[in-house]
Amino acid sequence: MSKYEDFKNSIQKIADVGFASAVLGWDQETYMPPKGAEFRSRQLATLAGIAHGMFTEPTLEKQIRELAADKTLGVKEAKNVELTLEELDKQKKYSSDFVEEMSRSVSACFSGWNEAREKNDFKVFSSSLEKLIDLKKKECELLGYTEHPYNALLDQYEKKLTVKDVDVLFNQVRAELVPFVKKIFAAKQVNDDFFYQQYDKQKQWDFGIEILKQMGYDFEAGRQDVSAHPFTTNFNARDVRVTTRTSENNLSEMLWSCIHEGGHALYEQGLPAEEYGLPLSEAVSLGIHESQSRLWENNVGRSLAYWKNNFPRIQQIFPEQLKSVSAEQFYFAMNKVEPSLIRTNADELTYHFHIMIRYEIEKLLLEEKIKVAELPEIWNAKYKEYLNIDVPDARQGVLQDVHWSHGSLGYFPTYSIGSFYAAQFFAQAEKQINGLKNQIEKGELKNLLNFLREKVHKHGKMYSAQALCEQISGEKLNFTYFMNYAKEKYGKIYNL
């Protein structure tokens, strides 16, 4: 066995432990009985400690550093070693005790969040979240940062992304998107009443499965289940699972979570399985990951072309509810722009206001300018400021997202970045795929999926997010693509 093969085998064993932990995490959010939470927390903490210990073992470190100096390695092999060494140097900053403490805290926080949502009481969640935020502050110090502690957390999800970068993007949102949305608010509103009738959950579920299959999601390499907060998880490229949620009184819940999570899952199923456990089998960044879900959800799933094909089918499933509705009316309704409480249900324009709110709150927490106990009050004030709506309770406010209970501070900005990447990538797909709109109108999505497989999925972490964007579109991330897309689409819908 060569040194590289020996290294590969060691890294894949560590991945085995990590993915075993991921299976337990998936179970925790889908099927685990409530009384299992205490021991699940212990199990996840133990596995996290084992994986960390295996990765930071001195013999493996010596092996990785020797390989990093080996100039005879192939391009892919060298990249796997380079990225593994980079991750090792970061992980060495954590002690096993800290890793296990973080894992226990996350499990306790997630359980607290679930209970708080059930009771609609933030105080139930407050103490466990406060402990987790304190740990995240310690983590920033362990990792090190320049200028702002939040940069240490941003870097975990979107490498080299900084507060300055995010501030520039959100300044563009304020300067260009906010005035455009105000014009929409002043225009005649579209009707979406028919979305909020009684829709049988099982029929919705079955249609969601049809949608996923049409997109190209491989059910022999995945499955769909129900969770409080829709998500995608993977244990390898041949086992990628999605979850959704359905509401009998809101058709949009299931539709957009299926398409959105399906976009994430297609990315994971398209990553190179032969690189299992190694960096080249992983998504390059959360922003690029989100670009895949947003491209499918918004640029495809909320397009008129998509529903020219799919509306007759959903009308057949729900004839009474949709008997007086046309495909164009259905398209207008799904793209209604209005202030809303719930981020995951927001339209694709005001969605970015939801992200700005969370970004600003996270920065304030890291700067220690606010306390965890003050979050509901601050949250509610920002929703009034940005969206001019009153938050009625914690469940529809500060408790709506699962991310903080996972310790995922620094994650939210990638949602907006992903939407901006999506607009840029889809514009390029339209240039390169002849008659793409006509194909979508016929329900033929294979060429678009192949484009994404070739341009994004197959590369794993071979290139940085910035380099990948330049390869695909010839330029760096450019907010103008999103604004052009928004103006063209919504200008027609609202007769601006």
Tens-digit pLDDT profile for residues 301-359: 999 999 999 999 999 999 999 999 999 999 999 999 999 999 988 999 999 999 999 99
- Is 80 exceeded by the pLDDT of residue 1? no
Rounded to whole angstroms, the Cα distance separating 78 from 62 reads: 16
- Range(s) of the chain covered by CATH 1.10.1370.30: 163-493
CA 437 to the chain's CA centroid: 26
Mean pLDDT of 157-183: 93
**Per-residue pLDDT tens digits for 241-277:** 999 999 999 999 899 999 999 999 999 999 999 999 9
User: Do residues 153 and 409 lie in contact, with contact meaning Cβ atoms separated by under 8 Å?
Assistant: yes
From the list 338, 305, 248, 286, the residue with the least C-alpha distance to 426 is 305
The predicted model scores a pTM of 0.90
Q: Which of the following is catalytic: 261, 268, 275, 282? A: 261
261 as an active site residue: the answer is yes
For 85-128, how does the pLDDT look when each residue is reduced to its tens digit (9 = 90+)? 999 898 889 888 898 899 889 989 999 999 999 999 999 999 99
Contact 235, 23 (CB under 8 A): yes
Contact 459, 403 (CB under 8 A): no
Which residues, 6 or more positions from 110, have their beta carbon under 8 angstroms from its beta carbon? 28, 402, 405, 406
Q: Are strands 232-236 and 239-244 parallel, antiparallel or unpaired?
A: antiparallel
Q: Which of 416, 382, 414 is nearest to 486 (CA)?
A: 416
Q: What is the pLDDT of residues 131-157, one digit of tens each?
A: 999 999 999 999 999 999 999 999 999
Separation CA 380–CA 382 (nearest Å): 6
Question: What is d(CA 312, CA 191) in angstroms, rounded to the nearest whole number?
Answer: 19
162, 475 Cβ separation under 8 angstroms:
no
Distance set, CA 84 to CA 90, 98, 277, 335 (Å): 10, 21, 11, 43
DSSP-derived 3-state class of residue 233: strand
Q: Where residue 292 falls among pLDDT bands split at 50, 70, 90?
A: very high
Fold of the domain built from segment(s) 163-493? Neurolysin; domain 3 (1.10.1370)
Report the amino acid identity of residue 339.
P
